[in-house]
């Protein structure tokens, strides 16, 4: 499958590497078509790996992952362009974290908004699905490292797109439980969970953890 990855950081590289290793045709996008981190990734990721601009990665992908830092996520989507992403599913993995005042970062979206909603407004003809933003990159692509009994969440306005992403997460990464939280506004929930995730990381002294929802 043709996959577009927008972003060259740890999250983008981890997802790109996993999918390239599974035989997918992955293009990593950056601001520049000759981005050095993307070039280094292409050099080691196999013959079906390639690089390009954000717009080229977006056009390439049948499924596109937005893995940019939260502070530039909307700008990256704008740079890719509505045309490149029209009708496609955009998996938004970004988190609205402001590191400008040091650690731990704060969430910069207000309570009545989320990055996923900002992206959906920027790309009205794209199906934005929020996913994977509640775990560390290694857990995203290998949930089995924590055992099988923990949960991933998806948010988005298009039910079919959420089902497609949920199946993709199950089949490609091995997620056993994907909970559909509802429309794109429910991304406010997972994005605002990050402050707790960060405190848990410090308290547990590991980023290798996730949530399991226990109910009656």
**CA-based nearest residue to 68, from 105, 28, 41:** 28
Q: If binding is defined by CB under 8 A, does position 43 make contact with a copy of itself?
A: no
In the block, tokens 């601001």 appear at 31
Distance of CA 35 to the CA centre of its chain: 20
Using rule CB under 8 A, residue 99 touches a copy of itself: no
User: Does 103 contact a copy of itself by CB under 8 A?
Assistant: no
Single out the residue of 47, 50, 49 nearest to residue 34, CA to CA.
Answer: 50
Among 23, 43, 110, 174, binds a copy of itself (CB under 8 A): 110
Applying CB under 8 A, does 149 fall inside the site for a copy of itself? yes
Among 107, 129, 140, 165, binds a copy of itself (CB under 8 A): 107
Q: Which is nearer to a copy of itself, 75 or 113 (CB)?
A: 113
| Candidates 6-14, 45-53, 59-67, 187-195; binding stretch for a copy of itself (CB under 8 A) | 187-195
* By CB under 8 A, residue 159 contacts a copy of itself: no
23, burial (CB in 10 Å: exposed 0-12, middle 13-18, buried 19+): exposed
- Would you say 9 or 147 has its CB closer to a copy of itself? 147
CA angle 17, 21, 25 (to 5 degrees): 85
How far apart, in whole angstroms, are the C-alpha atoms of residue 50 and residue 27? 5
Tell me if 188 contacts a copy of itself by CB under 8 A.
yes
Are residues 139 and 211 in contact, defined by beta-carbon separation less than 8 angstroms? no
By CB under 8 A, name the binding residues for a copy of itself: 98, 101, 106-108, 110-112, 145-147, 149-150, 153, 155, 179-182, 186, 188-190, 192-200, 202-204, 206, 208-216
């Amino acid at each position: 499958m043709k996959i577009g990855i927008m972003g060259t950081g740890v999250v983008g590289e981890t997802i790109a590497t996993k999918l390239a290793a599974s035989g997918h045709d992955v293009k990593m996008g950056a601001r520049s078509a000759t981005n050095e981190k993307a070039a280094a990734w292409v050099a080691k990721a196999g013959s079906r790996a390639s690089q390009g601009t954000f717009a080229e990665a977006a056009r390439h992908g049948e499924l596109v992952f937005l893995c940019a830092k939260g502070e530039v996520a909307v700008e990256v989507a704008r740079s890719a362009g509505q045309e490149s992403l029209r009708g496609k599913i955009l998996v938004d993995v970004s988190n609205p974290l402001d590191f400008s005042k040091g650690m731990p970062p704060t969430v910069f979206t207000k309570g009545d908004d989320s990055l996923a909603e900002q992206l959906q407004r920027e790309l009205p003809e794209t199906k934005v699905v929020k996913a994977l933003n509640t775990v560390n990159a290694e857990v995203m692509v290998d949930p089995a490292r924590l055992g099988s009994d923990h949960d991933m969440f998806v948010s988005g306005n298009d039910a079919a797109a959420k089902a497609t992403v949920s199946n993709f997460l199950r089949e490609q990464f091995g997620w056993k439980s994907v909970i559909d939280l509802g429309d794109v506004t429910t991304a406010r929930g997972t994005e605002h969970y990050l402050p707790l995730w960060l405190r848990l990381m410090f308290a547990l002294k590991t980023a290798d953890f996730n949530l399991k929802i226990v109910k009656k």
